[in-house]
Structure 1
Amino acid sequence: CEPEDSCCCCGWEGASPPLSAVVWSYITLHHNCDLSFLSDFRYTMQKRFPSILEVYYKSNEWSGIHGIRENDQMTWLSSKN
């Protein structure tokens, strides 16, 4: 892009980033931050609304994010000991 164009340094024009950039940012944040409180929330969901939690796990697996279910199960098992 030329400096006088309305392009941002990331390659998209206009004020809003593309959806893929937003999704990528969410995934990066989700994997890089300590979000252990979400595991506690999912534990509560598993006890009260297991079918909703299953949809959450499946949607992440379909989008290529694996291991959340397994990490939750390990966390919940270790907290019982």
Structure 2
Amino acid sequence: MELQRIQNKIYEIRGQKVMLDFDLAEMYQVETRVLNQAVKRNIKRFPPDFMFQLTTDEWEILKSQFVISSWGGTRKLPFAFT
């Protein structure tokens, strides 16, 4: 069950399999902003292609694939983690 739940949160964007920041934050039971802040503070520990921010078009296309939104509105474009 848990493996299937995680697999359902993996998307293909820019030809890479990624998880979005809010899904990772949920898995680690932290707020999305806390996850993103921690990564940015330690960015030198990660390879350059570790994460990228979605474009408005990418986010709109991805949102249209969700049948039911499981999160509230977002003010910033989400980050994708490879």
What's the TM-score, normalizing by structure 2?
A: 0.30
What's the TM-score, normalizing by structure 1?
A: 0.30
* Greater relative contact order structure (CA < 8 Å, 6+ sep): 2
User: Which has more radius of gyration?
Assistant: 1
Larger strand proportion, structure 1 or 2? Answer: 2
